[in-house]
Amino acid sequence: MKKALITGITGQDGSYLAEFLLEKGYDVHGVIRRSSVDYRERIAHLEGHPHFHLHYGDLSDSMSILSVVSTVRPDEIYNLAAQSHVQVSFDVPEFTADVDATGVLRVLEAVRLSGLKDTCRIYQASTSELYGKVEEVPQNENTPFHPYSPYAVAKQYGFWIVKEYREAYNMFCCSGILFNHESERRGETFVTRKITLAAARIAQGKQDKLYLGNLSSLRDWGYARDYVECMWLILQNDKPEDFVIATGEQHSVREFCQLAFHDVGIELEFVGEGMNEKGIDKATGKTVIEVSPDFYRPTDVVNLWGDPSKAKRELGWNPTKTTFEQLVKIMVDHDMKKVAVERAEEHIKTNLAEYLEKGVIK
């Protein structure tokens, strides 16, 4: 039985990857951080599985990483842990560098010091943010990098240190240059999830308006559940190589809004420009989307579009298993149910005394 170690297992990708590897018959180990509240929502359903194990560790703490790696002695490591929010990286640049840059080095060194350099394969979660202020459209493995945020600069170090260890020590370590991938498990402050949750709340009368930043920003959005398969395929390849993982399709934040609101039954019309642009509900004339300077970044990446030809050709990966329309629908359907459950819970709480009195709830 192969052993895999996943850092960032509590995150969006970590949770899907853990499910994927368990289905493949792996013994799955994950690194988690101690927290004062329970944050294991995405992996709660896996706890208790005989081949699912959790270890405390932190990417900013070399000893904890060395200890986990040398105890587990994995065949494969998926280094997904990161401060992954680009806008937040402007607020916590040093922490972002420590985890997203030096953290990668700590994983590589832990493998070397544990004597696993010839047996353990390492996947590094790299990113399309490396292309940043893009120098070519669409972007492929040969497109020059131009990182454009503290997050991207830190991830660039991660990319190069992986390449360095591959060449210097002949280690099987690779970067997946993944373009944005979303899901019903996406963190709620990333733009897609923020939109699908707000659309669901507005449709169910729980929110009046959604405030967003740059509506013209362009992204290549895929489905996270499809992308974790690629992480695994990269480590099953004959040679250690880096791959662009993307759908090859590009959409704007505005288009994402239009589709998500359509899926909850609201047809949007955008009027105005720049900071004065508004999204209006055509049926009621109400403004449901406004632009706020709070969600603008000091430097923003606005034109990401990936070319997944190499992954298609060499890994046999299908980049459009889930279409853009299907992805938005999956997220909206999930959030419509989530909001409906929240409303039901609120209703019960408000009327609890009456229900107890009438014996509706015992």
- Determine if 300 is a binding residue for ligand GDD (CB under 6 A): yes
Q: Which residue lies nearer to ligand NAP by CB, 39 or 211?
A: 39
| Residues 300 and 232 sit within 8 Å (Cβ to Cβ) | no
**Which sign does the torsion angle of CA 222, 226, 232, 236 carry?**
negative
* CA distances for 40 relative to 8, 35, 146, 184, 187, angstroms: 11, 10, 35, 15, 13
Q: Is 100 in the site for ligand GDD (CB under 6 A)?
A: no
Number of residues that bind ligand GDD (CB under 6 A): 24
- Residue nearest to ligand NAP according to CB distances in the complex: 11
Measured from the Cβ of residue 312, the count of other Cβ atoms closer than 10 Å reads 15
Q: Is 350 a catalytic residue?
A: no
**DSSP string across 184-201:** TTS-TTSHHHHHHHHHHH
C-beta atoms surrounding 87 within 10 Å: 18
Selection from ligand GDD, ligand NAP, none that 268 binds (CB < 5 to 8 A by kind) is: none
Q: Does 213 participate in binding ligand GDD (rule CB under 6 A)?
A: yes
Tell me how far apart the alpha carbons of residues 266 and 282 are, in angstroms, rounded to a whole number: 8
Please give the sequence-ordered ranges of beta strands (E in DSSP) within 11-130, or none if there are none: 27-32, 52-56, 76-79, 121-127
- Please state, in angstroms and rounded to a whole number, the distance separating the CA atoms of residues 68 and 105: 15
Least gap, CB of 234 to ligand GDD (angstroms): 16
Give yes or no for a contact between 135 and 146, defined as CB atoms under 8 angstroms apart. yes
Contact residue for ligand GDD among 28, 65, 86, 161 (CB under 6 A): 86
Q: How far is the CB of 306 from ligand NAP (least distance, A)?
A: 10
CB of 31 to ligand GDD, least distance (A): 18
- Is 129 catalytic? The answer is yes
Angle (CA) 354-355-358 rounded to 5° is 85
| Peptide linkage before 93 cis (omega within 30 of 0) | no
Beta-ladder partners of 124? 79, 175
Give yes or no for a contact between 337 and 184, defined as CB atoms under 8 angstroms apart. Answer: no
* Whether 119 is catalytic: no
Which candidate in 16, 131, 151, 227 is catalytic? 151
Contacted entry of ligand GDD, ligand NAP, none for residue 250, CB cut-off 5 to 8 Å set by kind? none
Q: Which of 10, 96, 127, 247 is catalytic?
A: 127
CB of residue 74 vs ligand NAP: minimum separation in angstroms?
16
The strand pairing partners of 28, in sequence order, are: 4, 52
N residues, the chain: 362
CB neighbours of residue 285 within 10 Å:
8
Q: Applying CB under 6 A, which part among 59-67, 84-92, 196-204, 267-275 lies near ligand GDD? A: 84-92
Which residues in this chain contact ligand NAP in the complex, by CB under 6 A?
A: 7-8, 10-14, 31, 33, 39, 58-60, 80-84, 99, 125, 127, 178, 180-181, 187
Stretch that binds ligand GDD, among 14-22, 107-115, 244-252, 292-300 (CB under 6 A): 292-300
We find the least distance from the C-beta atom of residue 334 to ligand NAP, in angstroms, to be 16
CB-wise, 64 or 175, nearer to ligand GDD? 175
**Which secondary-structure segment (H or E) carries 109?**
helix 103-113
Spacing of C-alpha 89 from chain mean position: 15
214 binds, among ligand GDD, ligand NAP, none (CB under 5 to 8 A by kind): ligand GDD
* Binding-site string for ligand GDD from residue 120 to residue 159, where x marks contact by CB under 6 A and - marks none: -------xxx------------------------------
Minimal distance in Å, beta carbon 66 to ligand GDD? 26
- Which residues does the annotation mark as catalytic? 127, 129, 151
* Residues in contact with ligand GDD by the rule CB under 6 A: 84, 86-87, 127-129, 179-180, 189-191, 194, 212-214, 217, 219, 253, 295, 297, 300-302, 304
